[in-house]
Structure 1
Amino acid sequence: MNKKVQLQDLGNKDYKETWDYQEELFKEIVDIKVRNRREEANLETPNYFLYVEHPHVYTLGKSGDMSNLLLSEKQLEAKGATFYKINRGGDITYHGPGQIVGYPILDLENFFTDIHKYLRLLEESIILTLAEYGLHGTRSDGETGVWFDVGTPFARKICALGVRASRWVTMHGFALNVNADLGYFDNIIPCGIKGKAVTSMHVELGKIVNEKEVKEKILKHFQNLFEAEVI
């Protein structure tokens, strides 16, 4: 089992280009697994962790409802945003500057074969990172992601999760609002959940947050929880 995870920070990169790149890496891993089964080969499968920041974009998951996008094509253009229907789970979400997006492309057979556990450990990586800033993130029953003040009228989401998995290989991932412009969330019903607010670290802390530092903390917790070695 290969527990090494190759880290790539793609910087600011177009959503579609990044999605295509994820698909390439995903296919590479799946192809090795198919070959291993067919030929009884014993080739090691690689794992990747992509960090990226996207220009303004809205993405709709497989189970999503188009009516949760509250903008017309012209309005999207006016806001300098793009829109894609994609192959992850979940409904609609927003990505943009000031948000840390992480795409772990893992062969879970190198770690454990449990998608539920995978999602919970991704959430835990974020919860532990937020705790280092004195922020108390929690889960919300039946809703993926990380939230504050669940069960109160002030419930708000700080991190969205949406993944795809096939043959135990994962893609897509999480989006943590660090210094994001939350105004862009006003143009959607985030994750299809009405009446729930979104927030970001800079709003909660009242100051701009060092994104490089946050990335390092997420990786530290990811490594520990997955018993991985990020290289």
Structure 2
Amino acid sequence: MTATASHFDAPQVKWLGRADYAATEAAMRAFTEARTARTPDEIWLCEHPPVYTQGVAGRAEHVLAPGDIPVVQTNRGGQVTYHGPGQVVAYPLIDLQRLGIFVREYVYRLESAVLRVLQDYGVTGHRVSGAPGIYVKLDDPFGHAALTGPADPRDPFRGLGKIAALGIKVTRHCTYHGVALNVAMNLEPFNRINPCGYAGLQTIDLAKIDVFTTWDDAAARLAQRLQSQLSR
């Protein structure tokens, strides 16, 4: 393997700590606009102060009662979500063309990274068709049974809680925005929105299902899993 090839093997992880959302989004956009075919990929890990973020397709009626929490318009896909302390947010800045994958595979790999982190804690996560993110069975988060049958169109999330949200932006084959894993949060702000545009969707975190870990541990595991999924 040449030195040039190894230069692009694994994304570099950058730890931003507690970071303002708007400033972080601006930095991601600037990084993506300035990068070239030789710019190494990065994964940014951070935690945001309380903020609602609205995707490009977001509808105002899904923001029910934000109160004193700011609502920030973004250029990512998806609807409204909440970021706050106790949530690990990962922003992979990845050249998909160089990695040799398309957007659908990229989304699958982001979700796979979260599923493996949950497995580390003994939790079984699930995908729901047409609803990006990762979900957990509320009555049996540690059971290994797959979701059975097609979702009820009247209530596709019956019995499920959303533990990780996903929203991305791709420009010139390069990604930004990313994935958020709920570790130990104040979940009340999720009640003030229709999370990801779904009325009544319950949002949970690891602490809610009696998995107690630190932000640092969960973030380190997610960073490692994302590096594995997004390396050549």
TM-score range normalised by the length of the shorter chain: 0.7 to 0.9
Runs of 4+ residues over 3 Å off in structure 1? none
Q: Does 1:67 align with 2:73?
A: no
How far the C-alpha of 1:223 sits from its partner, in A, is: 2.4
After superposition, the C-alpha distances for 1:16-63 in whole angstroms (9 at most, x for unaligned) are 11111111111121xx24xxxxxxxxxx12211101110000010001
Whether 1:138 and 2:126 are equivalent positions in the alignment is yes
Kindly indicate whether the alpha-carbon contact (under 8 Å) linking 1:111 and 1:226 is maintained by their aligned counterparts in 2: yes
Aligned match of 1:38: none
Q: TM-score, normalised by structure 1?
A: 0.86
- 2:61 aligned with 1:89, yes or no? no
Instruction: Assess if the C-alpha contact under 8 Å between 1:113 and 1:168 holds in 2.
Output: no
Give 1:178's aligned residue: 183
Q: Is structure 2 residue 29 aligned with structure 1 residue 28?
A: no
Contact 1:3 1:110 (8 Å CA) reproduced: no
Distance in structure 2 (CA, Å) of the matches to 1:195 and 1:182: 14
Contact 1:148 1:158 in 2 (8 A): yes
Residues 133, 165 of structure 2: 8 Å contact kept: yes
Aligned to 1:6: 12
> For residue 55 of structure 2, what is the amino acid of its counterpart?
G
List gaps (5 residues or longer) in structure 1.
34-43
Residue 204 of structure 2, aligned match among 188, 199, 202:
199
Q: Secondary structure at the match of 2:11?
A: strand
Aligned to 2:221: 217
Which letter does structure 2 place at the counterpart of 1:5?
Answer: P
Instruction: For 1:128-167, list aligned pairs within 5 A.
Output: 128-149=116-137, 151=151, 153-167=158-172
The structure carrying a bigger helix percent of its residues is 1
Does the 8 Å contact 2:48/2:85 carry over to 1? yes
SS at match of 1:216: helix
Q: Does 2:93 match 1:105? A: yes
The amino acid across from 1:109 in the alignment is Q
2:23 corresponding residue in structure 1: 17
- Whether 1:188 and 2:193 are equivalent positions in the alignment is yes
State percent identity of aligned pairs: 31
Alignment root-mean-square deviation, CA: 1.5
Matched, 1:46 2:46: no
Q: Which amino acid in 1 is paired with 2:177?
A: H
CA distance in 1, matches of 2:177, 2:158: 30
Structure 1 residues 206 and 111: CA distance shift in structure 2, 3 A: closer
- Count of aligned pairs: 209
**TM value normalised by structure 2:** 0.85
Q: Give 1:206 shift.
A: 5.2
5+ unaligned residues in a row in structure 2: which ranges? 138-146, 152-156
Q: Structure 2 CA distance, aligned partners of 1:174 and 1:68?
A: 20
In the TM superposition, what is the alpha-carbon distance from 1:110 to its structure 2 partner? Answer: 2.1
TM alignment of 1:114-125, pairs within 5 A: 114-125=102-113
Q: Do the aligned partners of 2:45 and 2:223 also contact (CA within 8 Å) in 1?
A: no
Does the residue aligned with 1:194 lie in a helix, a strand or coil? coil
* In 1: Cα distance, 2:26 partner to 2:47 partner: 15
Q: Alpha-carbon deviation of 1:180?
A: 1.1
For 1:52 and 1:168, the matched residues in 2 are separated by 23
Shift of 1:166: 1.1
- Per-residue CA distance 1:45-82 (angstroms, 9 max, x = gap): 2211101110000010001111100126xx2x2xxx21
Superposed displacement of residue 213, structure 1: 1.3
1:78-130 residue CA offsets vs partner (Å, 9 max, x unmatched): xxx21111100000000000000000011112212310000010000000110
Distance 1:47 1:167 in 2: 14
Give the whole-Å Cα distance in 1 for the aligned partners of 2:206 and 2:16: 22
Q: Distance in 2 between matches of 1:224 and 1:19?
A: 24
Partner AA of 1:112 in structure 2 = G
